[in-house]
């Protein structure tokens, strides 16, 4: 496919030079394109009137308006589709974009076809209806001028973000990875690996293969590639080389994703030590490391240390990045998550909303990063009792994940868990149980058997069975969760306390008050080590213990 695309691009460039390289190039002419758009995509386009529009493929147009209009009218038979007649003004004098008449070689000889190269950019001049039913619209476009300021800003940004220092197939692999085309990127790197004979050349390729596997949720494979890359780099680079820091960070991310937080923290701190020696104090990579360390502390239940690390990250980013850079949104999300875990929902909501506002200004509407803001907002609204709002955000998260992640990715499982928890709070226990069981099935496929996220699913299912009065099943799931948590979490982690409390509730419901008392005591003792004395969860655990004492 890649060879075909390259050949077609070259053919269009050649024909363009032949057809528009002479005296005719100063003439403006019109071409047409008929197309159906979903109502959602059409609404998005109307909001960008006056802005830029790009087609992400070769663009076939016609000089014959009737041919294009006829095709447009055919699309309107579907009530979910809006028919669009694009009317495109072209002046070859002011643009180096390649396009050419292909009537002589086109299969559709009557179409009078003009073909544009991939990713051609136009400006949307105006949008107007062609019928009274709002099913058919004319959209007037102009081929962008090379000197257009918006266009120049866009191309400069693309150059900066498309790995200008890399070359050839390696750069292609980086671009495919950034686009989320992980399987295609892997194919490119495997070919490169086969062609590369020296270790110094293999190191970066192993690293990129590790990144692909990490993005696909294949953590053991990711570790294998990252460690191969690190072994090579440690032999040929000084001990404080920035590339070593990058490897430490990536390995830390994998261990973090696998729930091995002490190992993750160790690798993040190795990276930070190198960065502090070699980078300016306001370098974005330092912010990234502080952010990663903050996430680990949050996962370990040490919220004060987590907050301190995330605030350091944000302070660096505010010095070194534009105010609306998407990396800032990550720090706001992370700080929001800490406040959420500390049950300060108003502060959490404020940080999540700030993050979302930055993303809406700096990222395309279907970008995977939106899932993090939506998830945070869903968590907060659920805990504030606004279940319909929470469900709306969780469903947005799942929609993004289903478009961008494998169906068995752990994050998809986390979304099923979140949606299940909302249905539970709404009293729909059967639907909640279904979502929790789907989440557990995904996590069992994709995570190590002792991962803390598996414990969360077992806890969730246990809660549902307790609510349905099936106490033996509830207790069985809680015991499985507790065994995982005792193996994978610090002994004073609040999640352990929460499971102790849940088990106490089941034993109390079964009339086994002595066992209930023991588990409630464990919950309170653990919570006092890990949570502030006024934390709502700790207060609830104390109330359960005091209530149980009256039954003994």
Could you read off the pLDDT of 188-230 as tens digits, one per residue? Answer: 888 888 888 888 889 999 999 999 998 887 888 999 999 999 9
Could you read off the pLDDT of 533-545 as tens digits, one per residue? Answer: 888 889 999 999 9
> 181 falls in which pLDDT band (50, 70, 90)?
confident
Q: What are phi and psi of 194, to 5 degrees?
A: -65, -35
Task: Report the run of H or E that residue 2 belongs to, with start and end.
Answer: helix 2-20
pLDDT of residue 160: 59
pLDDT of residue 194: 87
DSSP string, 100-132: EE-TTT-S-GGG-EEEEPTT-EEEEEEEEESST
Distance CA 280, CA 282 (A): 5
* 254 pLDDT higher than 80: yes
Going by the DSSP 8-state scheme, the letter that residue 51 receives in this structure is S
Tokens of 211: 């990144």
Q: What is the pTM of this model?
A: 0.58
Task: Tell me what the mean pLDDT of segment 120-142 comes to.
Answer: 89
pLDDT of residue 104: 63
DSSP string, 167-227: -HHHHHHHHHHHTT-HHHHHHHHHHHHHH--SHHHHHHHHHHHHHHHHHTT-HHHHHHHHH
Task: Tell me what the mean pLDDT of segment 40-67 comes to.
Answer: 82
Distance CA 118, CA 495 (A): 51
pLDDT of residue 1: 39
Which position has the token pair 């089941």? 506
Of 29-43, 170-184, 340-354, the poorest mean pLDDT is in: 170-184
Could you read off the pLDDT of 484-535 as tens digits, one per residue? Answer: 999 888 888 889 999 999 999 999 999 999 999 999 999 999 989 878 788 8
CATH topology of domain 261-320: 1.25.40
DSSP string, 412-429: HHHHHHHHHHHHHHTT-H
Q: Which segments of the chain belong to CATH 1.25.40.10? A: 167-236, 261-320
Q: Which segments of the chain belong to CATH 3.90.176.10? A: 2-161
Task: Tell me what the mean pLDDT of segment 324-333 comes to.
Answer: 91
Distance CA 480, CA 269 (A): 32
pLDDT of residue 3: 41
Could you read off the pLDDT of 76-127 as tens digits, one per residue? Answer: 788 888 999 999 998 887 777 778 887 665 544 556 788 887 667 888 999 9
Task: Tell me what the mean pLDDT of segment 370-397 comes to.
Answer: 96
The sign of the CA dihedral 221, 227, 230, 232 is negative
- Name the CATH superfamily housing domain 167-236: Tetratricopeptide repeat domain (1.25.40.10)
Domain spanning 2-161, CATH architecture: Alpha-Beta Complex (3.90)
């Amino acid at each position: 496919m890649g060879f075909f695309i390259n050949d077609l691009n070259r053919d269009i460039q050649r024909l363009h030079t032949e057809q528009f390289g002479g005296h005719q190039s100063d003439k403006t002419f019109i071409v047409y394109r008929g197309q159906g758009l979903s109502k959602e995509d059409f609404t998005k386009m109307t909001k960008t009137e006056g802005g830029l529009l790009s087609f992400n493929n070769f663009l076939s147009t016609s000089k014959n308006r009737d041919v294009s209009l006829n095709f447009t009218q055919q699309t309107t038979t579907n009530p979910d589709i809006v028919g669009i007649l694009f009317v495109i003004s072209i002046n070859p004098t002011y643009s180096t974009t390649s396009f050419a008449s292909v009537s002589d070689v086109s299969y559709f000889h009557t179409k009078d076809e003009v073909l544009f190269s991939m990713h051609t950019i136009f400006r949307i001049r105006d949008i107007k209806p062609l019928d009274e039913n709002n099913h058919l619209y004319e959209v007037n476009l102009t081929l962008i001028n090379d000197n257009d300021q918006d266009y120049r800003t866009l191309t400069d940004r693309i150059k900066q973000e498309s790995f200008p220092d890399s070359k050839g197939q390696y750069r292609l692999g980086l671009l495919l990875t950034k686009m989320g085309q992980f399987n295609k990127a892997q194919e490119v790197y495997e070919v490169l690996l086969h062609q590369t004979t020296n270790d110094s050349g293999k190191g970066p390729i192993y690293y990129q293969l590790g990144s692909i596997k990490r993005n696909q949720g294949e953590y053991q494979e990711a570790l294998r590639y990252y460690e191969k890359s690190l072994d090579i780099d440690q032999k040929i680079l000084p001990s404080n080389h920035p590339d070593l820091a990058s490897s430490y960070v990536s390995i830390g991310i994998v261990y973090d994703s696998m729930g091995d937080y002490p190992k993750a923290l160790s690798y993040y701190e190795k990276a930070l030590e190198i960065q502090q020696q070699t980078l300016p104090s306001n370098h974005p990579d330092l912010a990234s490391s502080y952010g990663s360390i903050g996430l680990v502390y949050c996962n370990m239940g040490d919220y004060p240390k987590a907050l301190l690390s995330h605030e350091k990250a944000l302070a660096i980013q505010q010095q070194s990045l534009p105010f609306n850079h998407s990396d800032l949104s990550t720090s706001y999300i992370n700080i929001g998550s800490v406040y959420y875990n500390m049950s300060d929902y108003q502060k959490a909501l404020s940080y999540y909303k700030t993050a979302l506002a930055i993303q809406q200004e700096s990222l395309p509407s279907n970008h995977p990063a939106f899932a993090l803001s939506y998830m945070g907002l869903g968590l907060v609204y659920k805990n504030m009792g606004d279940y319909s709002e929470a469900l709306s955000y969780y469903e947005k998260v799942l929609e993004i994940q289903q478009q961008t992640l494998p169906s068995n990715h752990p994050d998809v499982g986390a979304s099923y868990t979140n949606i299940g928890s909302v249905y539970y709070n709404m009293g729909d226990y059967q639907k909640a149980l279904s979502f929790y069981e789907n989440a557990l099935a995904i996590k069992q496929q994709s995570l190590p058997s002792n991962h803390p996220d598996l414990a969360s699913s077992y806890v969730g299912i246990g809660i549902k069975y307790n609510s349905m009065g099936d106490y033996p099943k509830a207790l069985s799931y809680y015991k499985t969760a507790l065994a995982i948590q005792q193996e994978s979490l610090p002994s004073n982690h609040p999640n352990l306390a929460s499971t102790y409390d849940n088990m106490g509730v089941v034993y109390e419901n079964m009339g086994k008050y002595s066992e209930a008392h023991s588990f409630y005591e464990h919950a309170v003792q653990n919570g006092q080590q890990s949570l502030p004395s006024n934390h709502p969860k700790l207060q609830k655990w104390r109330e359960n213990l005091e209530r149980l004492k009256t039954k003994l």
